[in-house]
Amino acid sequence: MSPHEVHQGEHDATNAYQSLSETTEHDDPRWAFGTGFEDVEAEISAPVPEGTDPADLAAYCQMLGDDALIYSQRLSEWVANAPELEEEVALANTALDLLGQARVLLSRAGHVEGRGRGEDAFAYLRDQAGFRNIALAEQSDDLDFARCIARLLIFSTWRLALLHRLLGSADPVIAAVAGKGVKELTYHRDYAARWALRLGDGTEESHRRMQAGLEWAWPYVEELFRTSDEERRLVEAGVAVDPAGTREEFDAVLAQVLEQATLARPEVAPVGTIGGRSGRQGIHTERLGHVLAEMQSVAREHPGATW
């Protein structure tokens, strides 16, 4: 995304509804559930690629799915809390996009591992240590809009770079999620970039708050580029990509946005690991417990219930 494209996005997109209508197939009845695939069951039950360890593939689908699921839950907190109705709609639909990715990826993980777990079991019946998401996804932004935009800009820039590279994944389900997700995340990233420009290059107060939002989110950036053992093995099998390989693209995009928004790249220490382990190995901040308490409460209080 060039600086010209950033400015064009700011001026050409008259509102979030127009952007959503251009990037989302609202006439597709599956859109409300976030899948968008013609035959979800056929996708999920596709054979494991030759030379791929099913346990590694299940773990990788969990990682990508958990990132989307937990961040989707955090974004949903903005419903009825966004500064304008238009932004509420945009953030809610972003959460739905990510939820759709999570549903397919976690269903794939359940099918591959062969233990009878479906997407609901992954979402509602795991404890904190069973989740494999990055720390950035689980943090509470305390309904600070600048923090919301800073995290969305960072997350969507990183995940878009990942999914672009996963278009050629040997696993057909991951490739299918990437094919749909690239379109979704392109909108997410551009939406966040436009707001970063408006706030960063706006009033003195909006600039201060946007800079503070970046300072809040930045300690969690380094974890995005750490490579797990499962990822290393799956890269060799042509299924995964090494997240470390997305760093150059991530830095280039952020540099362009921050320059145009008159924002400074934060110089803050990254969040540390425990014994070299972090979210990918089930080590989380206390914030994940808060997310799960809310997300899982109904399912745990009424086990097996359907509506």
Task: Provide the pLDDT for residue 25.
Answer: 43
Task: Provide the pLDDT for residue 77.
Answer: 97
Give the confidence band of 84 by pLDDT, cuts at 50, 70, 90: very high
Residue % of the chain over a pLDDT of 90: 79
Residue 10 vs residue 65, higher pLDDT: 65
Task: Provide the pLDDT for residue 170.
Answer: 98
- CA distance linking residue 92 with residue 116, whole number of Å: 31
Give the confidence band of 305 by pLDDT, cuts at 50, 70, 90: confident
Q: What is the pLDDT of residues 204-262, one digit of tens each?
A: 999 999 999 999 999 999 999 999 999 999 999 999 999 999 999 999 999 999 999 99
Q: How many Cβ atoms sit within 10 Å of the Cβ of residue 86?
A: 12
Give the confidence band of 37 by pLDDT, cuts at 50, 70, 90: low
Task: Provide the pLDDT for residue 271.
Answer: 86
Mean pLDDT of all residues belonging to the chain: 88
Residue 90 vs residue 306, higher pLDDT: 90
| DSSP calls for 14-77 | --HHHHHHHHS-TT-GGGGGT---S-HHHHHTPPPPTT--HHHHHHHHHHHHHHHHHHHHHHHT
Which three-class secondary structure state does DSSP give residue 202?
Answer: coil
Question: In this structure, which amino acid lies at residue 215?
Answer: E
Mean pLDDT, range 60-68, rounded to an integer: 98
Q: Write down the CATH superfamily of domain 3-15+53-301.
A: Ferritin, core subunit, four-helix bundle (1.20.1260.10)
Task: Provide the pLDDT for residue 61.
Answer: 98
The residue ranges of every structural domain in the chain are: 3-15+53-301
Cα→Cα distances 101→45, 66, 213, Å: 16, 10, 26
Task: Provide the pLDDT for residue 277.
Answer: 76
Using the structure block, give the residue that is written with the tokens 């389900």. Answer: 173
